[in-house]
Amino acid sequence: MSRTEIAALGEFGLIRRLTEKFPITNASTVKGVGDDAAILDYGTKQVLVTTDLLLEGVHFDLVYVPLKHLGYKAAVVNFSDIYAMNGRPKQITVSLGVSKRFSVEDLEQIYEGLSVACQHYGVDLVGGDTSASLTGLTISITCIGEASKDKIVLRSGAQPTDLICVTGDLGSAYMGLQLLEREKIAFSGNDQVQPDFEGKDYILQRQLKPEARKDIIETLEKAGIVPTSMMDISDGLSSELMHICSQSNTGCRVYEDKIPISYQAALMAEELNMSIVTAALNGGEDYELLFTVSINDYEKIIPLEGINIVGHITKPELGLHLIGREGEEIALQAQGWNSLQ
């Protein structure tokens, strides 16, 4: 692959090259890349805005994260925040801080991943910024979405007796990370070593190429269900449940044997002598949805694929507990990953 120095294109030439293949697909995008600001028209819809910052060495390791996958994941984690409000992502802006070790072709790989994500989820790239960096690669994405005023779901709406639901399975992304870190250590200082990823494709995908649960939002809408509270699972089930209970002024009971766990994740945890339940509760980066629904929606929720009822909301004085397989109560603790620690 040929190498083009970023300086050869200049700022505006670089922006044009990276973004010219992004078509406008949403009627609400009046003006996209190329002016001082994007122009969006939402009429009676509520505008949702979220932003996420990814730093090399803190949020990702380029030893094992391909740049295309990084671009895809950076977009998807923002889409997930919009879906967690029961909204629909529509536009993103992308800002990069890059050091001199990156070429134009490297940045094109990131934008190729962004493009695949935008096409898959029907989102427009409408702007951004680039800057020199002395500390490696930084990616900052702002996502703008929309939702009907009467359909937006906050973290603060859970009520006692509500059912606690999660989508997909938990802990797989964390176990994928543990696998990558293990193989990185084995590879260090010995480039003849080949990574051992056989039979572990699912947990690797969950870490390197997560998906936002657009499908679940559409399923809930078709079933006529509006959750009472919701958020995505980026920092671990325990941490997210504590956020919902704190903002809703409630307690909760979650049952260990109801937490969905994939077979590959369980095998990886056994191989590494780790607790898969601890990984599911605290691992993070699953980008599944955690939400509560009224107990009156029980009959509607039960037949829906990809959704598991894992517990229920209680009065606040009952506290927040995990109920073990033997019926023991264990106080939930927020042990999810925190980049500021």
Minimum mean pLDDT among 140-144, 182-186, 291-295: which range?
182-186
Q: CATH assignment of 163-331, given 2.30.42.10, 3.40.630.10, 3.30.497.10, 3.90.650.10?
A: 3.90.650.10
**pLDDT score recorded for residue 16:** 86
Give the span between the Cα atoms of 181 and 259, in whole angstroms.
25
And the tokens for 8?
């050869």
User: What pLDDT is recorded for position 115?
Assistant: 98
Mean pLDDT calculated for residue range 64-91: 97
Q: Closest Cα partner for 137 from 232, 33, 62?
A: 62
Strand partners, 293: 163
Same topology between domain 6-147 and domain 163-331:
no
List, in order, residues 6 or more apart from 308 with CB less than 8 Å away.
165, 166, 167, 258, 259, 260
On the question of pLDDT at 305 being above 50, the answer is yes
Query: Is the pLDDT at 53 greater than 50, yes or no?
Result: yes
pLDDT band at 340 (very low <50, low <70, confident <90, very high): very low
pLDDT surpassing 80 at residue 38 = no
**pLDDT at residue 336, as a whole number:** 54
Backbone angles phi, psi at 163, to 5 degrees: -85, 140
pLDDT band at 36, cuts 50/70/90?
Answer: low
DSSP H/E element including 208: helix 201-208
Beta strands in the chain (DSSP E): 29-31, 39-40, 46-55, 88-98, 124-132, 138-147, 163-167, 229-232, 251-255, 289-293, 307-314, 320-323, 329-331
Calculate the alpha carbon distances from 251 to 158, 312, 324 in Å. 10, 9, 17
**Domain residues of the chain, as ranges?**
6-147, 163-331
Domain 6-147 falls in which CATH fold? Answer: 60s Ribosomal Protein L30; Chain: A; (3.30.1330)
Q: Do the bridges between strand 251-255 and strand 320-323 make them parallel or antiparallel, or are there none, so unpaired?
A: parallel
Number of H helices, E strands in the chain: 10, 13
Ramachandran class of 74: left when φ > 0, alpha when ψ lies in -120 to 50, beta otherwise: alpha
pLDDT digits (tens, 9 = 90+) for 274-298: 999 999 999 999 999 999 999 999 9
- Asked which of 2-11, 48-57, 81-90 is least confident by mean pLDDT, the reply is 2-11
Residue 192's pLDDT is what? 67
